[in-house]
Amino acid sequence: MSWLKSKSYSLKVGKEKVKTERMDVILKGILASNHADNIKRDLLVKIAEKGSSSQSSGTVQSVLELTAKWYLEGESKFNERAFEAKALSYVKEHPYIECLTSFAEFLLEFKECVPKGESLLHFCTNLILSLSLCSPPELENGLVTYIKSANTVASLLSQIWSSSDSLVVLGCLKEIFRIISSPCDVEPSVCLGSLVQYLPVEMISTVVKNVISDSSINNNSMVTAIQRIIDWLQWPTALYVDQWVIAFLKGLASVQKYSILITVTENKADQILPMVPKIVGDWKSDSSEFSQQLVTKLAELLHVLMYLHGGFPELYDPVYEVIKEFPKPSPDVIKFKLLESKWTAHRDGQAYVPRSYQPKAEMGKTGLFNLGNTCYMNSIIQALYMCDSFRNGLLQHQPTLEQSLVVKLQYVFAFLSLSQRPTYAPVNFLAASRPAWFSAGFQQDCSEFLKYLLDQLHEQETKYLTATGSPKSPRKDKQKTESKKTTLIEENFGGKMSTTLTCLNCRSESKKEEMFMDLPLAFPDYNTTSQKSLAGGDSKMSMRSHSSTNTVPRSTASVPPEEMNCLHLNDLLKHYLKPEKLVGDNKYYCDNCGGLQEGERKIKIVKTPEYLILTLLRFSYDTKLQSRSKIFREVKYPKTLLIPVEDESRATGSERRKRCDSLRSSVANQLEKCGLEMDIDCADVYSLCSVVVHSGTSSDCGHYYCYARHSVVTNSENVCANMQDFSHEDEMDFLQDKWYLFNDSRVSYASYGSFCNVSQRFTKDTAYVLVYRKIDAEKIGTDYKIGLDQSIQPTKIDAPLRSDLRAAVVKDNKIYLQEQESAAAKNSSRKRPNDSTWYNWKDDDDKGGGGPCGGGGGSLGDLDTSGARFVF
Q: What is the DSSP string of 374-401?
A: -HHHHHHHHHHHT-HHHHHHHHH----T
| Cα 361 to Cα 794: distance, rounded to the nearest angstrom | 15
The H-assigned helical ranges of 143-239 are 143-162, 166-181, 204-212, 219-231
Among 547, 533, 534, which Cα is nearest to 701's?
547
| Contact in structure between 305 and 266 (CB atoms under 8 Å) | no
- For residue 439, how many other CB atoms are within 10 A of its CB? 9
101-109 long-range CB contacts below 8 Å, 24 or more apart? 101/149, 101/150, 101/152, 101/153, 104/152, 104/153, 104/155, 104/156, 105/152, 107/156, 108/152, 108/155, 108/156, 108/159
Measured in degrees and rounded to the nearest 5, phi and psi for residue 214 equal -75, 110
Its sign, for the CA torsion 10, 11, 12, 18, is positive
| Cα 738 to Cα 301: distance, rounded to the nearest angstrom | 33
- For residue 434, how many other CB atoms are within 10 A of its CB? 18
- For residue 675, how many other CB atoms are within 10 A of its CB? 9
| Contact in structure between 97 and 149 (CB atoms under 8 Å) | yes
- For residue 340, how many other CB atoms are within 10 A of its CB? 8
| Cα 691 to Cα 770: distance, rounded to the nearest angstrom | 5
Q: List strand residue ranges (DSSP E) for 80-146, in order.
A: none
Measured in degrees and rounded to the nearest 5, phi and psi for residue 738 equal -125, 105
| Contact in structure between 264 and 870 (CB atoms under 8 Å) | no
| Cα 328 to Cα 316: distance, rounded to the nearest angstrom | 15
Q: What is the DSSP string of 66-82?
A: HHHHHHHH---HHHHHH
Measured in degrees and rounded to the nearest 5, phi and psi for residue 618 equal -90, -20
Length of the chain: 872
Q: Is 690 exposed, middle or buried (0-12, 13-18, 19+ CB in 10 A)?
A: buried
Which listed residue (397, 546, 703, 710) is catalytic? Answer: 703
Which listed residue (375, 446, 590, 853) is catalytic? Answer: 375
* Amino acid making up residue 246: I
- For residue 35, how many other CB atoms are within 10 A of its CB? 13
SS3 772: strand
- For residue 578, how many other CB atoms are within 10 A of its CB? 11
| Cα 683 to Cα 641: distance, rounded to the nearest angstrom | 10
| Cα 753 to Cα 348: distance, rounded to the nearest angstrom | 38
Q: Which residues of 510-523 are buried (b: 16+ CB within 10 A; e: fewer)?
A: eeeebbbbbbbbbb
| Contact in structure between 223 and 178 (CB atoms under 8 Å) | no
| Cα 692 to Cα 742: distance, rounded to the nearest angstrom | 9
SS3 842: helix
Among 756, 464, 713, 758, which Cα is nearest to 611's?
713
* Amino acid making up residue 252: L
Helices (H) then strands (E): counts for the chain: 32, 20
* Amino acid making up residue 293: Q
Among 53, 59, 50, 75, which Cα is nearest to 24's?
59
* Amino acid making up residue 833: P
Note if 703 is an active site residue. Answer: yes
* Amino acid making up residue 165: D
The residues annotated as belonging to the active site are 375, 703
